[in-house]
Chains A and B, each alone.
Chain A
Amino acid sequence: MISGSVKKRRVRSPLTSARNAALLLLPTLLLIAIYKYGPIGQAVVASGQSFSVAGIPLGWVGLGNYERALADQVFLQSLGLTVAFAAIKIPVQLALGFSLAMFLFQSTKLNGFFRVIIITPAVTPIAIVGIIFLFLFDREVGLTNAVLTAFGTGRVGWLTEPHAAQFVVIFASIWRDAGFAMLFYLAGLTAIPQEVLEASRVDGANSWQRSTKILLPMLQRSTQLAAVSTTVAAFQYFAPIFVLTRGGPQNATNVAAYNIYQQAFVFYDQGFANAMAVVLLAVLVVVTAFELYLLRSRWEY
């Protein structure tokens, strides 16, 4: 018999209590608030100010920097380039990611090898990607032109002609990020019940019909995630442009992220640069919200 003298331990504040949960979460929440949302808040505040070329705040200008940004032809052109860049990158990268995932979904002995090959560019530091492409596409000593001239064609100014430079920049971006999209699709494919695929085979569906009528619709969530990630990456694309073209030739690769960098750290126009960054963020939020709605999952399994 349990003695009545044994005190029943009273848990005054269990770990599951809201207060303790909040206390445990506090450091993480603070980190996120300070290092993730803090800079965004700072950018919004700075976008309402004017700064000297030495970065000293000169005073409030209200929405003046936004008016400047929305009237600035170079910024509007860079926004247009960014949207065009994303519009090319997203479908190509998703198609490539899906195709590669389908290829690797078949179990062969070389699967592991191919996965490593395909994912390696995605984990290569982005500045290194820029340098690799610099060596590949230099007009005089690049490997690409060495191959082309061996076949008797003329040299192409890959990094010195506007359209060619745009092609190289998009190609570098898709080459690097295709592995990410593949991973999203591969994860989605492994989650699809085998019974569904077997049933489709029994019903006589060929591989094209299986891919387009069954797999793609069931991979809607993977597509949504890959599309949003690709969009964010496209809007933030900067490092290879910094290494390869510096926004040139003739502003042909001057995407919004590079243009903002130039205004902030080359021309030291901090208020203007922050206003442009906030506009870019707003455009990105609108585009991703549209994608999330358009690609919302209509299937449960």
Chain B
Amino acid sequence: MEFEVIEKGSTEGIAGNLCICDDLVVCNIKIFAICPCVEGGYCTNYCECH
């Protein structure tokens, strides 16, 4: 029986590092999504932009 967490997300509210800094995320179909983590650095999403 196996359950191995590879990437632990975080949506436990602001204190739990939920990424809420999406200012720069615009429509990712019409323009590339710029990493929302640029400013706060508190995002634990797994963006590959940087």
**A and B assemble together:** no
B residues bordering A, Cβ < 8 Å? none
